[in-house]
Amino acid sequence: MTDFFKGISKIAYEGPETTNEFAFRHYNADEVVMGKTLKDHLRFSCAYWHSFAWPGGDPFGGQTFERPWFGETMALAKLKADFAFEMFDILGVPYFCFHDADVRPEGTNFAENTRNLEEIVDYFAQKMDDTGMKLLWGTANLFSNRRFMAGAATNPDPDVFAYSAATIKTCMDATIKLGGENYVLWGGREGYETLLNTDMGRERKQAGRMLEMVVDYKHKTGFKGAILIEPKPQEPTKHQYDYDVATVYGFLKDFGLENEVQVNIEQGHAILAGHTFEHELATARELGIFGSIDMNRNDYQSGWDTDQFPNNVPEMALAFYEVLRAGGFTTGGTNFDAKLRRQSLDPEDLILAHVGGMDACAAGLKAAAAMIEDGALEEARSARYSGWDTKRAQNLLVSDLEGVEQFVRDNDINPQPRSGRQERLENLVNSYL
Amino acid sequence: MTDFFKGISKIAYEGPETTNEFAFRHYNADEVVMGKTLKDHLRFSCAYWHSFAWPGGDPFGGQTFERPWFGETMALAKLKADFAFEMFDILGVPYFCFHDADVRPEGTNFAENTRNLEEIVDYFAQKMDDTGMKLLWGTANLFSNRRFMAGAATNPDPDVFAYSAATIKTCMDATIKLGGENYVLWGGREGYETLLNTDMGRERKQAGRMLEMVVDYKHKTGFKGAILIEPKPQEPTKHQYDYDVATVYGFLKDFGLENEVQVNIEQGHAILAGHTFEHELATARELGIFGSIDMNRNDYQSGWDTDQFPNNVPEMALAFYEVLRAGGFTTGGTNFDAKLRRQSLDPEDLILAHVGGMDACAAGLKAAAAMIEDGALEEARSARYSGWDTKRAQNLLVSDLEGVEQFVRDNDINPQPRSGRQERLENLVNSYL
Amino acid sequence: MTDFFKGISKIAYEGPETTNEFAFRHYNADEVVMGKTLKDHLRFSCAYWHSFAWPGGDPFGGQTFERPWFGETMALAKLKADFAFEMFDILGVPYFCFHDADVRPEGTNFAENTRNLEEIVDYFAQKMDDTGMKLLWGTANLFSNRRFMAGAATNPDPDVFAYSAATIKTCMDATIKLGGENYVLWGGREGYETLLNTDMGRERKQAGRMLEMVVDYKHKTGFKGAILIEPKPQEPTKHQYDYDVATVYGFLKDFGLENEVQVNIEQGHAILAGHTFEHELATARELGIFGSIDMNRNDYQSGWDTDQFPNNVPEMALAFYEVLRAGGFTTGGTNFDAKLRRQSLDPEDLILAHVGGMDACAAGLKAAAAMIEDGALEEARSARYSGWDTKRAQNLLVSDLEGVEQFVRDNDINPQPRSGRQERLENLVNSYL
Amino acid sequence: MTDFFKGISKIAYEGPETTNEFAFRHYNADEVVMGKTLKDHLRFSCAYWHSFAWPGGDPFGGQTFERPWFGETMALAKLKADFAFEMFDILGVPYFCFHDADVRPEGTNFAENTRNLEEIVDYFAQKMDDTGMKLLWGTANLFSNRRFMAGAATNPDPDVFAYSAATIKTCMDATIKLGGENYVLWGGREGYETLLNTDMGRERKQAGRMLEMVVDYKHKTGFKGAILIEPKPQEPTKHQYDYDVATVYGFLKDFGLENEVQVNIEQGHAILAGHTFEHELATARELGIFGSIDMNRNDYQSGWDTDQFPNNVPEMALAFYEVLRAGGFTTGGTNFDAKLRRQSLDPEDLILAHVGGMDACAAGLKAAAAMIEDGALEEARSARYSGWDTKRAQNLLVSDLEGVEQFVRDNDINPQPRSGRQERLENLVNSYL
């Protein structure tokens, strides 16, 4: 045990009545719900960037965190890994996620960056062997360095496209080597600051081509994981091309990739796009592109990405209800793309923020499972649409406007509305919480 | 001349220096810009609903307008038409648009509604013959009557689907009879209030099927106009399926209708979806589905559809710049989907609101044309992407991740960012205003 | 029992495990918490307007509800009262609230309106005697009729000011006669649509003068209730003068009324002003103007007043925590300024929406009481500021800039930040839920 | 001339028709409008922080700007000053503004910071003597350093309060020494992240006490400038106590400082608070606390402080109209609290962004002056309220509710609404542009 987490033991489940803040109240990893353990349902993952690479800055202030691993050397990168794996162990999460830039020092060029990455990947591989930790997904940071300021795939400079493609390859290689279960693309700079200097058509084609290359490389390497796009409407750019799930779907259809690529949906990004998290989850499910989730919570009243740890159990229940309706995760999982508030300086804060988030998710999932198992919600939904199951209704769908008009005239169709019962259903949801 | 518009003469162009508020300062219909008259560029249209059917209510108060034509009889519907055509004449607009419910009294059933509509369509036809007025588009109001409270095409009750389809047919028939140049679908209730009672998959399929029927009927009748979907993110529903242009595109692709259906883009709906108007216009152009525009202005700080008349010329210039970049309107036009503030009680207000809006559009269009003709903006845009026109760059696009990596290594690609020059371009735009 | 609520019995408390949706799961009226019954803590009230006067319209559609009492006759007004009191009885709420316009038919002038109001007040008085129901507050509707379209107290027309003042007097008289415990002013039209036609200085003075008159009349009549202003940022107006609690405070200070007038805080209005509900509650408490609450819930992502029934227990807990920290209600209470979704057509919906809301509040209050009684939150808060309790710190506050600079130099003050522990406190809150 | 601005000459006025982007099209410094030169009306000021201290980072990426003066030594601080004064000269602005942390290297403690500041102040003084440049205002950066993460005046740690007070004193001293015309307080961290760990009452009192000390020090030193608070609703904090102008007014009234302190209003902060810029300006004017402006523009659709250079002339016209209605600036001025987009890397961008902003302001001011001089807007406003100038109306204001009721009854007052003419007034405004 390092000094940093000194005195913090592995977090155990103690049940809802515990007064020990260093214990799980709801996340009992081995508890079986709907035939699966909570561990297998939730597939929790920690994000390397927020917990280990972010210094606590915001647009009006710099670093607040002081971490023994901060710095740009390979030795510190390995020290960072030591601390990270110690935290994973304390929390009992089975997965983690990372960008290349989170885990290796920035080199002077592509070759050095790649060497640095490969060295740390070997270091990770050893630790993963030792601990059983798994990689939920890897990704490339194509947005922080100034070379990416005008985009990666969508950059007006083809050299940046090339640099980005090469970097993605190295990150896919790293992901494959570490047995990652998905590879994620978040296009933080794939958008524009002003339409005035932007060729949207070109940029869109560049983005499509890059995605095709990624899919081709997946097939060439035999990578079995899923390729995931993470939608976000804006920030850092004024407009990001992967605005939301529906927008990504249109993009995938345009390039014929809707069966090759899925989405990684973040609660905060959904909020910023004007949607609820459950809306985005349901949309992905209905469009057949549901992949994984980035779990956090965005302040509804702050117009930027607040990336807070989730804590509202009723909201978690609605989200996991949609996950369960989608059949649960296959390659995906629940990745905490959440960061400490910059005033939460202590090692205890880092641990307990995750504990609280894991508990909120577990409580939400259990409530969601109860809703599924009880079936009353789905029964109400089916009943509302039951008219569509009649032959008369199915005939309508294969008719044409003239045929339908005749039907309306012949039967003097004059439909009367029926209650949507929203409040009753909301009460019903609350009864499972 | 009726009493209502008594004393208001036909509005004439008097130029920017006029102090006559009953004159155009910028809209000189016959002025030629880029080889076309302003009249043919702008293709102005008045919306029947806001100016003739809306009583001035808001969620906290009822009717403020007192109009001689208000009431639910056929005689009043014809009187309303008399006033409407008088206003069109005063303004010198070439087009108008309407929903069935704007123009005919509500009957007791489908058959009576259809008879009422047909009678008023005959009345319109006569007036159009007499005046040369044209119909930009027709549409069906499938959202105001309580039967549509849970949707039209997407209703859980198949009888509402049928009623809606039949109504659309009658409105398409009316549009065809009047020589309409487009037919519009705005799905004000095609969305949901709560996911809890909603089967998104079913509803999406119902909406797709309805659209197929509309397209089939277009082909069957030989209607030459465009079928247009009007996106809106929410309001009246919590979520509307036709959220924005990109969402509509994905929907069209899913049903194979992307070459059959275009979009009618409203400034206010763009704003409510988190986009600028010019973003939506540019997106539609790049996706090949640009059709027409609903011109208005939404208060950026009021979270509902304010439907104000446009008055910010710099914003109009950016919007019409994108329209001109799309090649200008073909079947589409500039429809004022704008309403008086409910305190603007007087006939003069109704006329002058349109005059101001037409002038703002004309001034914006002229500035946009100057930008196009001068070419400096497009020159800057091309220069920014000129690297992509090299053979080296084009090779990148046909390579694969491994090939690109090799290229980066071989050439030690280490791209340096170049200024995006946003402020300079913004200054450039201002120089045309 | 009328036909409308036929078959719906008085709602009883059955506890969290009940599966009867017509029962309380958390609201046990007589349960004692912190020395008071839930009934006395919560002081629930039903709003006449939403449940009995609102027809279910929205900006894109008209009436959906069909109620036997709808219509503009005195007989129907009394029938409405019969149904209302039946609902109060079914729910077991001790209070109700109303505007004049909710309860009486609109007359042709002030005198008739007053006679109508007086007649219905007598009818209410009898029913209140019979049932023990009490009036939480009365108010005047000075926003729906077209005469108020440009404001009531702040109208450019002094006759509207006069009409409004006279109407307020009649509503205060009604409130006094019925033993109301507060009188509320919500200035729905006291704001502006455009600064261009607005004399903000005049309007502000008119509003201040009207409030002085109200306070004077309170004292003259010996009314013991509180005078409450209800803040709202906008809607229906572009800007409403009573934007939020802090704005109202400045207004009261300006007219020397900060000890005479308090605030009635609505969850939805807080949200629309960019605040959390608990922020507004805490602000009012710290400024000494906390009065009462309008309980509802606003969709965070819909930019208008959605007035939904509350259902998120964690949010209720935070709100009631601030209420309890303010010492709980004195004259105030928990008024459901919440309306059914317009698709919720059935009598059962009306009852169950209230039941769900009452349960959410009760569960929230019980959690809040547990937080208060446990004391851990307040202990953490005090500890964080404990440095201020030292003599050294108190000396700072009575020093001046020069003295403090000397202190900093003499002691080489170089403060180190300490963790704010936000996530730990959020976890702590969750442990009471 | 340094290498950095090499080849950029002093910007001259060339008029609207110029095609030289390095020239003013509207800002003719010596042009007289309403009896004053544009220079004296506008009192332009450059902000040191955005143009010389900000490295171009955002929450998802680091430094993009490479400036020869970046670094933390006194020599570089002086080099920075050399470049800054060169830019002021190129632009021909008469004023600048700064925070301590913009201009001096960060020292290890208060004493070193103060010495560094004093040394650079001497350096500034010499340059100001040489060039005639003046200081619009000085201020202290009490938000960037991690010691301020939980607030400055409102910190839970009294040592931070002390450190902040001492720092303010040194910044006031610097301002006084340089002949500054105002001293500004922006409380970027004076707010909270979560109510759970916040004692709002204490913090408010601490803030009030700090402000009293500042006012006392102003009087003690004989400083003739204005003390200005700059409101902002949130960001970096979840909630900032100085939310908007109305909130600041209430705070000032509470501490009896409303005649001692005014506001510095920023366009972007107004937008983030849900207000138009002109609303905040008008509010400050009516409350008697209008001081100065921070000119920029916030993207209406990005929920964070975008601090762009202004470019929408119609909006500028409405803003300066309110400034002129307030009598114009006395100690205040037009400070560009605006930053380059982070992709605008070049020295030319820095100059031309200011040129565009100055031109937009000048064009707006000239239009505003034309509106004032023409008088039609004010005439319409007066006419709308003219009823209030009658004796009958004035009597109403000195009556009481009973007297007014009698008046309404006696005269059967039944007011009819009159048109608010919003669109006509908007057209009128456009006629001056």
Q: What is the pLDDT along chain C (433 residues), one digit of tens a residue?
A: 468 999 999 999 999 999 999 999 999 999 999 999 999 999 999 999 999 999 999 999 999 999 999 999 999 999 999 999 999 999 999 999 999 999 999 999 999 999 999 999 999 999 999 999 999 999 999 999 999 999 999 999 999 999 999 999 999 999 999 999 999 999 999 999 999 999 999 999 999 999 999 999 999 999 999 999 999 999 999 999 999 999 999 999 999 999 999 999 999 999 999 999 999 999 999 999 999 999 999 999 999 999 999 999 999 999 999 999 999 999 999 999 999 999 999 999 999 999 999 999 999 999 999 999 999 999 999 999 999 999 999 999 999 999 999 999 999 999 999 999 999 999 999 999 9
Chain B residues within an 8 Å CB radius of C236: 58-61
Question: Which strand (E) or helix (H) includes residue D64?
Answer: none
Residues of B with Cβ-Cβ distance to C343 under 8 angstroms: 149-150, 193
Q: Given the structure tokens 């409102």, which residue do they identify?
A: D154
Report the gap between the CA of C95 and the closest CA in chain D (Å): 27
d(Cα A137, Cα A180) in Å, to the nearest integer? Answer: 5
Contact list in B for residue C301 (CB cut-off 8 A) is: 234
For residue B40, indicate whether it is catalytic. no
> Which residue from C179, C69, C52 is spatially nearest to C125, judged by alpha carbons?
C179
Question: What are the φ/ψ torsions at residue D311 (nearest 5 degrees)?
Answer: -150, 0
The answer for residues whose C-beta is within 8 angstroms of residue B219's C-beta and 6 or more apart is: none
Residue B220's pLDDT band (cuts 50, 70, 90)? very high
User: SS in 3 state form for chain A?
Assistant: CCCCCCCCCCCEECCCCCCCCCEECCCCCCCEECCEEHHHHHCEEEEHHHHHHCCCCECCECCCCCCCCCCCCHHHHHHHHHHHHHHHHHHCCCEEEEEHHHHCCCCCCHHHHHHHHHHHHHHHHHHHHHHCCEEEEEECCCCCCHHHCCCCCCCCCHHHHHHHHHHHHHHHHHHHHCCCCEEEECCCCCEECCHHHCCHHHHHHHHHHHHHHHHHHHHHHCCCCEEEECCCCCCCCCEECCCCHHHHHHHHHHCCCCCCEEEEEEHHHHHHCCCCHHHHHHHHHHHCCEEEEEECECCCCCECCCCECCCCHHHHHHHHHHHHHCCCCCCCCEEECCCCCCCCCCHHHHHHHHHHHHHHHHHHHHHHHHHHHHCHHHHHHHHHCHHHHCHHHHHHHHCCHHHHHHHHHHHCCCCCCCCCCHHHHHHHHHHCC
Domain with CATH 3.20.20.150 in chain A: 12-374
The pLDDT assigned to D202 comes to: 97
Task: Looking at the complex, report in whole angstroms how far the Cα of residue C382 sits from the nearest Cα belonging to chain A.
Answer: 17
For β-strands A290-295 and D134-139, DSSP reports them as unpaired
Interface test with C, best of B49, B50, B60 (most C CBs within 10 A): B60
DSSP, collapsed to helix, strand or coil, labels residue B432 as: coil
B405 closest CB neighbour out of A169, A199, A216: A169
Task: Give dist(CA B292, CA B295) in Å, integer.
Answer: 9
Question: What count of residues does chain A have?
Answer: 433
Overall average pLDDT of the D416-430 stretch: 98
B301 to chain C: which residues are within 8 Å by CB?
A: 234
Three-state helix/strand/coil letters over C100-137? HHHHCCCCCCHHHHHHHHHHHHHHHHHHHHHHCCEEEE
pLDDT band (50, 70, 90) for residue D258:
very high
| pLDDT at A1 > cutoff 60 | no
Could you give the CA distance from residue C362 to residue C41 in angstroms, rounded to a whole number? 9
DSSP B239-288: EESS-SHHHHHHHHHHTT-TTTEEEEEEHHHHHHTT--HHHHHHHHHHHT
- Please report which residue ranges of D92-157 form alpha helices under DSSP H: 100-103, 110-131
Q: Which residue of D300, D345, D433 is in closest CB contact with B419?
A: D345
Would you call D144 and A61 a contact, using CB atoms and an 8 Å cutoff? yes
C171 close to C139: Cβ distance less than 8 angstroms: yes
Q: Give C108's Cβ-side CA count (13 Å radius).
A: 0
- Cβ neighbours of D355 in B, within 8 Å: 427
| Chain A neighbors of B396, CB-CB under 8 A | 158, 161-162, 165
Token pair belonging to C81: 């009262």
The pair phi, psi for residue B373, each rounded to 5°, is -65, -40
Q: Which of residues 82-141 of C touch D (CB under 8 A)?
A: 109-111
Of D25, D309, D343, the CB nearest to B419: D343
Sign of CA dihedral B6, B7, B8, B9: positive
Known binding site: residues of B?
A: 230, 266, 269, 294, 305, 307, 337
Confidence of residue D2 (pLDDT cuts 50, 70, 90): low
The number of CA neighbours under 13 Å toward the Cβ of B148 is 25
Assess C428–A contact: CB distance below 8 Å, yes or no: yes
How far does the CA of residue D271 sit from the closest CA of chain A (Å)? 12
Q: Residue D298: pLDDT above 80?
A: yes
Q: Do B417 and D359 count as a contact with CB atoms less than 8 A apart?
A: no
| CA distances, B296 to each of A381, B98, B269, B270, D271 (Å) | 38, 16, 9, 11, 21
pLDDT confidence bin for B257, thresholds 50/70/90: very high
Window 293-312 of A: residues touching B by CB (8 A cutoff) are none
Cβ–Cβ < 8 Å for A93, A362: no
Q: Report CB contact under 8 Å: B343, C193.
A: yes
The answer to whether residue D342 scores a pLDDT higher than 70 is: yes
Note the pLDDT of residue C2. Answer: 61
Identify residue A73 by its one-letter amino acid code: T
**Proportion of chain B above pLDDT 70, given as a percent:** 100
Q: Which of residues 148-167 of C touch B (CB under 8 A)?
A: 148-150
Which pLDDT belongs to residue A225?
Answer: 98
Question: Tens digits of per-residue pLDDT, D95-150?
Answer: 999 999 999 999 999 999 999 999 999 999 999 999 999 999 999 999 999 999 99
- Render pLDDT for D379-412 as a digit per residue (tens, 0 to 9): 999 999 999 999 999 999 999 999 999 999 999 9
The two tokens of residue D157 are: 């740690």
Cβ–Cβ of D311/B275 closer than 8 Å? no
Q: How far apart are CA C114 and CA C124, in angstroms?
A: 15
CB contact under 8 A, B197 and A422: yes
CA distance C370 to chain B (A): 32
Cα separation, C25 vs C14, in Å, equals 6
Q: Is A374 annotated as a binding residue?
A: no
Q: Which token pair is D206?
A: 């601490």
For residue range C76-108, list pLDDT tens digits in order.
Answer: 999 999 999 999 999 999 999 999 999 999 999
Question: Which pLDDT band, with edges at 50, 70 and 90, does D313 fall under?
Answer: very high
Does the pTM exceed 0.90? yes
pLDDT at B2 over 80: no
Nearest to B64 among C146, C238, C302 (CB): C146
Check CB contact of A275 with chain C, cutoff 8 Å: yes
Catalytic site residue from A26, A100, A102, A275? A102
**pLDDT (average), residues A139-162:** 98
- Average pLDDT value over all residues in chain B: 97
Task: Reply yes or no on whether the pLDDT at A163 is more than 90.
Answer: yes
Mean per-residue pLDDT for D164-184?
Answer: 98
> Do B100 and B174 meet the contact criterion of CB atoms below 8 Å apart?
yes
Q: How far apart are CA C314 and CA C433, in angstroms?
A: 7
Helices (H) and strands (E) in chain D, counts: 16, 14
- Whole-number pLDDT of residue B277: 98
Find, in chain D, the residue whose alpha carbon is nearest to that of A63: D146
Q: Which two tokens stand for residue D103?
A: 């201009």
Pairing of strands D32-33, C226-229: unpaired
CATH, range D12-374: 3.20.20.150
Both structure tokens of A49: 């960037």
Rg of chain B (C-alpha set)? 23
The answer on pLDDT for B1 being more than 80 is no
The alpha carbon of residue B61 is apart from the nearest alpha carbon of chain C, in Å, by 4
Mutate: best of D192, D241, D386, D413, partner C, most C CBs <10 A? D413
Question: Given an 8 Å threshold on Cβ–Cβ distance, is A401 in contact with B216?
Answer: yes
Q: Give the residue ranges of DSSP H helices in B92-133.
A: 100-103, 110-131
The DSSP symbol for C10 reads P
End-to-end C-alpha distance for chain C, whole angstroms:
38
**Residue A2 binned pLDDT confidence (cut-offs 50, 70, 90):** low
**Could you say which residues from 29 to 88 on chain B have a Cβ atom under 8 Å away from some Cβ of chain C?**
56, 58-64
Considering CB atoms only, which of A345, A356, A424 is closest to C419? A345
Q: Return the active site residues of D.
A: 99, 102
